[in-house]
């Protein structure tokens, strides 16, 4: 529904604008926003030092050096991208060739910008190590004696960068763009407190920050015409709070300012105001001169004010970040904001929930319905650390544990879909891990998480009462011990494989026998869309497992007295029969699978005959 509404809003916007992107340059705006977030990613990718608060982290020399390094890398990568685009946009003039590398790229770029041959270009391609303090002093001394008044601006700039000297010279002849100026000055920033350089040759990060924010300010950078440029200047010099406060003043960019603040807040890099009554951007006594603090609480409350009455659910998402913040009276800001939101919106039932007539509490949020929608697209994906699937899976386990502990029950179709999705996630995890037998034989996740079995009852029966009955060969004692399909001992390979196939059949999704095809087709109509969307992957995985077992059977050693030919033939016939049942089921269900899925199913089934 939300996606549909967003599409409707886009159509309305396009109609109102008439000519769409011809009227407003959306493309350039999108590029600037993409660059903004690339910058945020680059500048926050730093190794933090142990400290009690964000100010100590931000003012530590190690972190400030990391900020400068990250800013230089961002500027250099941006210029490299510009160089590549220039070269590949003028390949004939660039004459790109030779061994790929920095030299060939620079040479081709200069062929475009400076068609006349540049002498001495190749001299600078070797790796230049950091200068020792003694060598730096020699460079500075030579610069002051012989080069300060030199007419070659490039030579002066190189000496000033390598020797970190003459910080008063902005080298406007060379650094004619803001990005070039930033790169040059960041290279001159000095962190060596014991340096023997003169004060006029020392540029600290704090001095550079103050120069940009206070001495130059917004008027120098024409912020009305280029808001992204001024944001870049502040952000790349680690003045995050000032950059956010500036961006927040522009209506169309306000959401990005808030979200950048949330990123920094979660990473513990944001300097927050000590009091809630402070201005949005303030300087507090005892802070370094160029340090500014952001009133994080005010920022979120100003942002949510425009939509909290019409979209309280969205406002709650932002208020949650205030769960550990307190006002001057010690009251929790999250509770305070939610209380005000409830009173203003009058959405008591939606936000707080309600008591049913029997006194039971009805949950305010439809957690399982939302989790089903989120889990469905990732069920068949390969799990990886910190992936969406892994995070959602862990969240689903926590929800299942909480619901079990608190005795919370939901609508049966929603509940059934949720636990079936968990079982399918377990199935696919085993399948992708290469545990072909365990993919069938693995203990369903829903059982492990939420169900206490009674004697004679399987997990899947308790969650899905309409499923097939428990296998009569499983003793009540073993079922009560927590096995939904009683596992055979590893030595009994035939029985193990037979029982392993019962798991996928108990999930009531696909048939592994012709006699169950019609029953599975009829049951399929009762499954939710979240389950149906995964049918193709379930069919392919199941068929692939059958095909793998078939190949293992054919490649196995010849018949032995312990494993007679009749047993092998029976197993061969069983696998082919199960494959045919899958093909029949795929053709009968009232759901359109992709042509590629059907082709792959038929191909594997044919290879088994």
Band of the pLDDT at 262, cuts 50, 70, 90?
very high
Task: Give, in degrees to the nearest 5, the angle at Cα 211 between 209 and 212.
Answer: 70
User: Which of the listed ranges 433-447, 451-465, 580-594 does the model predict with the highest average pLDDT?
Assistant: 580-594
Q: How many CA atoms lie within 13 A of 577 on its CB side?
A: 11
Q: Residue 146 gets which letter from DSSP? A: I
Band of the pLDDT at 479, cuts 50, 70, 90?
very low
Of 265, 257, 294, the C-alpha closest to 278 is: 294
Burial of 4 (0-12, 13-18, 19+ CB in 10 A): exposed
Phi/psi for 281 (5° steps) reads -125, 125
Does the pLDDT of residue 609 top 50, yes or no? yes
| Tens digit of each residue's pLDDT (9 = 90 or more) over 355-373 | 666 666 666 446 788 889 8
Beta strands in 277-395 (DSSP E): 281-282, 293-294, 354-355, 361-362
Band of the pLDDT at 461, cuts 50, 70, 90?
very low
Position 493 scores a pLDDT of: 39
Compute the Cα dihedral for 170, 175, 176, 180 and give only its sign: negative
Does the pLDDT of residue 263 top 60, yes or no? yes
Residues of 277-292 as b/e, b for ≥16 C-beta within 10 angstroms? ebebbbeeeeeeebbb
Token pair 């939901």 is found at 410
Mean pLDDT, residues 413-432:
86
| Tens digit of each residue's pLDDT (9 = 90 or more) over 98-139 | 778 888 888 888 888 876 665 555 544 444 455 677 787 788
Are 364 and 357 in contact by the 8 Å Cβ rule? The answer is: no
| Tens digit of each residue's pLDDT (9 = 90 or more) over 140-186 | 888 888 888 888 888 888 888 888 888 888 888 888 899 999 999 99
Dmax (CA) for the chain in angstroms is 99
Does the pLDDT of residue 278 top 80, yes or no? yes
The token pair that represents 157 in the structure block? 């700039």
Q: Map 70-112 to HEC letters.
A: HHHHHHHHHHHHHHHHHHHHCHHHHCCCCCCCHHHHHHHHHHH
| Tens digit of each residue's pLDDT (9 = 90 or more) over 387-399 | 888 989 998 988 8
| Mean per-residue pLDDT over the chain, rounded | 77
Position 237 scores a pLDDT of: 94
Task: Give, in degrees to the nearest 5, the angle at Cα 46 between 43 and 51.
Answer: 120
CA–CA distance, 273 with 53 (Å, rounded to integer) = 12
Phi/psi for 311 (5° steps) reads -140, 70
Termini Cα distance of the chain: 47
Burial of 8 (0-12, 13-18, 19+ CB in 10 A): exposed
C-alpha torsion 38→44→47→48, nearest 10: 180
Does the pLDDT of residue 200 top 60, yes or no? yes
| Tens digit of each residue's pLDDT (9 = 90 or more) over 296-325 | 999 999 999 988 888 888 899 999 999 998
| Tens digit of each residue's pLDDT (9 = 90 or more) over 220-254 | 888 888 889 999 999 999 999 999 999 999 998 99
CA-to-CA dists, residue 290 to 106, 282, 508, angstroms: 37, 11, 65
CA–CA distance, 498 with 437 (Å, rounded to integer) = 10
CA–CA distance, 206 with 292 (Å, rounded to integer) = 12
């Amino acid at each position: 529904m939300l996606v549909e509404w967003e599409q409707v809003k886009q159509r309305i916007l396009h109609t109102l604008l008439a000519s769409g992107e011809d009227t407003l340059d959306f493309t350039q705006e999108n590029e600037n926003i993409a660059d903004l977030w690339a910058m945020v990613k680059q500048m926050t990718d730093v190794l933090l030092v142990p400290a009690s608060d964000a100010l100590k982290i931000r003012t530590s020399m190690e972190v400030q050096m990391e900020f400068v390094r990250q800013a230089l890398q961002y500027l250099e990568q941006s210029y490299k991208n510009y160089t590549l685009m220039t070269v590949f946009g003028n390949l004939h003039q660039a004459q790109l060739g030779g061994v790929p590398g920095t030299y060939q790229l620079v040479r081709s770029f200069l062929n475009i910008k400076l068609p006349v041959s540049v002498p001495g270009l190749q001299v600078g391609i070797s790796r230049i190590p950091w200068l020792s303090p003694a060598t730096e002093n020699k460079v500075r001394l030579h610069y002051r004696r012989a080069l300060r008044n030199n007419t070659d601006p490039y030579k002066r700039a190189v000496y000033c960068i390598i020797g970190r000297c003459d910080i008063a010279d902005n080298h406007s002849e060379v650094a004619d763009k803001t990005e070039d100026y930033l790169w040059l000055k960041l290279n001159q920033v000095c962190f060596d407190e014991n340096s023997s350089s003169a004060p006029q040759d020392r540029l600290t990060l704090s001095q550079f920050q103050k120069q940009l924010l206070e001495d130059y300010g917004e008027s120098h950078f024409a912020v009305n015409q280029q808001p992204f440029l001024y944001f870049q200047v502040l952000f790349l010099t680690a003045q995050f709070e000032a950059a956010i406060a500036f961006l927040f003043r522009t209506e169309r960019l306000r959401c990005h300012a808030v979200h950048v603040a949330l990123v920094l807040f979660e990473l513990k890099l944001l300097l927050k105001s000590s009091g809630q009554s402070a201005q949005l951007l303030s300087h507090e006594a005892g802070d370094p001169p160029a340090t500014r603090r952001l009133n994080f609480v005010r920022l979120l409350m100003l942002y949510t004010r425009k939509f909290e009455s019409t979209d309280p659910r969205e406002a709650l998402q932002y208020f949650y970040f205030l769960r550990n913040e307190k006002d001057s009276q010690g009251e929790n800001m999250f509770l305070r904001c939610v209380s005000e939101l409830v009173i203003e919106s009058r959405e008591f039932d939606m936000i707080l929930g309600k008591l049913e007539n029997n006194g039971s509490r009805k949950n305010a949020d439809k957690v399982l319905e939302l989790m089903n929608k989120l889990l469905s697209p990732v069920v068949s994906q390969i799990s990886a650390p910190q992936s969406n699937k892994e995070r959602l899976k862990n969240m689903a386990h926590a929800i299942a544990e909480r619901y079990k502990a608190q005795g919370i029950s939901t609508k049966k179709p929603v509940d059934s879909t949720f636990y079936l999705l968990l079982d399918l996630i377990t199935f696919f995890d085993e399948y992708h891990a290469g545990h072909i037998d365990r993919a069938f034989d693995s203990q369903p996740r829903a059982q492990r998480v939420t169900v206490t079995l009674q004697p004679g009852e399987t997990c899947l029966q308790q969650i899905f009462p309409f499923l097939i009955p428990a296998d009569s060969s499983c003793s009540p004692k073993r079922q009560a011990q927590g096995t939904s399909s009683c596992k055979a001992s590893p030595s009994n390979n035939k029985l193990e494989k037979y029982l392993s196939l019962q798991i996928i059949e108990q999930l009531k999704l696909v048939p592994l026998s012709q006699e169950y095809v019609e029953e599975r087709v009829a049951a399929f109509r009762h499954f939710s869309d979240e389950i149906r969307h995964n049918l193709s992957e379930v069919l392919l995985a199941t068929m692939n497992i059958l095909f793998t077992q078939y190949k293992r059977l054919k490649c196995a050693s010849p018949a032995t007295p312990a494993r007679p030919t009749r047993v092998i033939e029976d197993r061969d016939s069983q696998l082919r029969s199960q494959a045919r049942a899958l093909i029949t089921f795929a053709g009968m269900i009232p759901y359109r699978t992709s042509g590629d899925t059907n082709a792959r199913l038929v191909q594997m089934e044919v290879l088994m005959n």
